[in-house]
Chains A and B, each alone.
Chain A
Amino acid sequence: MDLSENILTTEKLTKLSEVIDNYRDEKGALMPVLQQTQDIFGYIPKEAVDYISKELNISLAKIYGVITFYSQFKLEPTGKYLISVCLGTACYVRGAGSIIKEIEKQLKINLNETTNDHKFTLIDTRCLGACGLAPIMTINEDVYGKVKLDDINNILSKY
């Protein structure tokens, strides 16, 4: 993947400044601004943090404090497809642990790592609330329920 596509292009920068304008006068603006920054860039680039800091007049220390507190904010780009395996209790009891091991084996990466071609990132996630279909995993927006070890190869090959 070409990393330059993620750095502040004019288009993305315009979007970011629109977001900031929307929230400029609002109390507690930082969280929604960071969330939407991540939606724009796929992660929160350092350049964007500098920009937000200046525009909203919030110190860099405070912004990084918030970013690093919440597990969903990412300071590094992730792969094109984000594989999230639910590790909620219902999924765990139904074998989500071995699902993760199998994906690690097939993609030759560990949990929280990205493949060399930047195609897949594997993470575990908190309960997705679809416990009736445990074990469950998602790849970007696609949801897979009642996943079996034998299905994994098929699922991954769709991407």
Chain B
Amino acid sequence: MGKTLKSIQDLRDKQIEFYNNFKTKQGSFRVAVGMATCGLSAGSRPVYNAIIDEVSSLGLNNVKIIESGCIGTCSVEPLIEIYDDLGDKVTFIELDEVKAREIVQHYLANGDLESVSKYLYQDGQRKKYYQKQKKIALANGGIIDPENIEEYIALEGYLALGEALTNMTRQEVIDMIKNSGLKGRGGGGFPTGLKWQFAYDSPGDEKYIVCNADEGDPGAFMDRSILEGDPHVVLEAMAIAGYAIGAQKGFIYIRAEYPLAVSRLKRSINKAKELNLLGDNILGTSFNFDIELRLGSGAFVCGEETALMNSIEGNRGIPKPRPPYPAAKGLWGKPTNINNVETFANIPVIIRKGAQWFKEIGTKNSPGTKVFALGGNINNTGLVEIPIGTTVREVIFEIGGGIPDGKKFKAVQTGGPSGGCITTENLDTPIDYDTLIELGSMMGSGGMIVIDETACMVDIARFFLDFTVDESCGKCTPCRDGTKRMLEILERITEGKATMADLDKLQRLGNSIKKGSLCGLGQTAPNPVLSTLRYFHDEYVAHIEDKECPAGVCSALTKYFITDKCIGCTRCVKVCPTNAISGKVKEMHYIDQEKCIKCGACKETCPVDAIIIK
């Protein structure tokens, strides 16, 4: 390539050239293998290698094979998508090397789809998964080769930056983002355009753009997927933001747990510099913008913007009081604009298609889409992008395909350690920033963990609190000590040692921690407890008064029973370390609850699954 782009006209010419390369030629195929972290761990590398090997040994020269990012349907990985010259695509799922070779032999070599149709993602299934989705932030994910800047440009990448630099004033860019109604997708929901305006209005020659890619909520992987599948969209958006507020330098603060995203970003930054899309005099204008990566080192609190800036400056990642807000005094005391990855991913397309186009998607108050990471006890785990205002029921039961193994839905947890639960009676709530807060949960960054009837809600609350106790930075006493006390109470409850007065204490402590903490971590840490107390009060009471865990999860409260399935084989008697089991050969056995230590050895040994936990 080598040639740098000296004007927007250069870029437009290149876009046409690259698009012609990108388009599948007549009689050819384009094979995209999903190779984000999730695809790779499901085994997409051997599938990719098998396809290359088979294509070359058959001497096919009409096949282009690319490594694409996340296609979104994690539950059926490894998968490939094959585009023909009409632009139509077929998706093959749950592949291995053998199946992949068959697909090459039949479909790619002979155009025979019939013989390999058994590996196809069936239309009905696919339709259900995609019908209610709308891809904006994830538009390129799974389609382009994320390591190839030409493919990003082919699909109009960097044209928004060119347009902004050449034909729009700074204020016009900000106005367009304001008019679009885009809100922060990291969970806060603050209007993005307004944030840019504040940073623009702050006096100073030295300003910074920061991309918050410290996606720490357990169960959330939207940002990872965007960075792995479409890294240039974030770089382009950061440059646009830099132009808008008057910054020449950007930082991406990314978790070290995402090595693939880090390496793709590094390469993408270099590629963009080679083409003069980052660096000095971008596209022949007087605008300079450079981006640097900074890695986290495992501190959840660094997702909070003031803590994040402390960490970039090389300090302990401890939050600072606001105001002053980063827009006035941010990195090294200079005006700084911080947005999350998903927020940035919306920017270029808004510039290209206009604020009005964006406003027609989603709700009046919150235009656009939100990406959710659907996980837990659900059939179609994966990434979904839905217009804001879609109901929880549609996401879980239509897109997500419901709960596996015929189990019953109990709750869905959103907002991670800062959020709460949504239960059956609220399934028809449209998903929006305000509606979720009313339910005692929150939009959060987009984790959506589905919980079935086998989970104990007290245990789930304990899990999240254990997380925040570990991650509290220690600056504010209510958060540092209060969460610890709450955790102790929860542990007492799960061990059957609590009293009803403890529930009031939990509530009181929770409210004080929310009021007495400086940053988002402390202010939201009690939410999982308060939310489960609100919706699953019965379960707490059962643990305390009846000394019973209704879901059979809390081991101190569970009991092992032998049912009448027992065939009297005596195997359990032999493995029981405390001689708690008695019974005659070929007759039903009994467990002495006084002696039982709940080690589970009997249950593991039983050949007929006669032992149950209650």
Residues of A within 8 A of B (CB): 27-32, 34-35, 65-66, 69-73, 87-90, 92-94, 125-134, 136, 143-145
Contacts and interface: CB of A to CB of B under 8 A. Distances in A.
B418 to A, nearest CB: 12
Contacts of B314: 27-31, 66
Contacts of A145: 38, 41-42
Nearest to B74: A132
Contacts of B77: 132-133
B61 interface: no
Interface stretch (B214-222, B271-279, B389-397): B214-222
A143 B37 contact: yes
A87 B218 contact: yes
Contacts of B416: 89
Interface stretch (B154-162, B163-171, B373-381, B557-565): B373-381
B427 interface: no
Q: Which of B219, B256, B315, B382 has the most CB of A within 10 A?
A: B219
A151 to B, nearest CB: 14
Contacts of A144: 41
Nearest to A97: B463
B38 A132 contact: yes
B122 interface: no
B449 A90 contact: yes
Contacts of B312: 28, 31
Contacts of B217: 127
10 contacts: A65-B316, A66-B316, A70-B317, A89-B413, A126-B298, A129-B215, A129-B221, A132-B75, A132-B77, A143-B41
Contact of B220 (A71, A125, A127, A143): A127
Interface residues of B, number: 51
Contacts of B315: 30, 66
Given A72-B298, A126-B218, A129-B224, A93 B451 contact: yes
A59 B273 CA distance: 36
Interface of B: 37-38, 40-42, 74-75, 77, 215-221, 224, 256-258, 294-300, 311-318, 332, 373, 375-377, 381-382, 413, 416, 447, 449, 451, 455, 460, 463-464, 473
A92 B224 CA distance: 20
A13 B525 CA distance: 43
A130 B37 CA distance: 7
Given A35-B297, A65-B316, A72 B218 contact: no
A50 to B, nearest CB: 18
Contact of A131 (B42, B216, B258, B381): B381
> Which of A34, A88, A136, A144 has its CB near the most chain B CB atoms (within 10 A)?
A88
Contacts of A131: 74, 219, 221, 373, 375-376, 381
Contacts of A92: 218, 463
A65 B314 CA distance: 11
A36 to B, nearest CB: 10
A136 B318 CA distance: 30
Contact of B42 (A88, A129, A133): A133
A89 B256 CA distance: 19
A34 B296 CA distance: 11
B297 A129 contact: no
The 10 closest A-B pairs by CB, nearest first: A132-B74, A129-B221, A88-B218, A70-B297, A30-B314, A90-B375, A143-B41, A72-B298, A131-B375, A71-B298
Q: Name which of A34, A92, A129 has the most chain B CB atoms within 10 A of its CB.
A: A129
Contacts of B74: 130-133
A114 B373 CA distance: 34
A32 B447 contact: no
Nearest to A58: B314
B156 to A, nearest CB: 28
Nearest to B376: A93
A31 B311 contact: yes
Contacts of A72: 256, 297-298
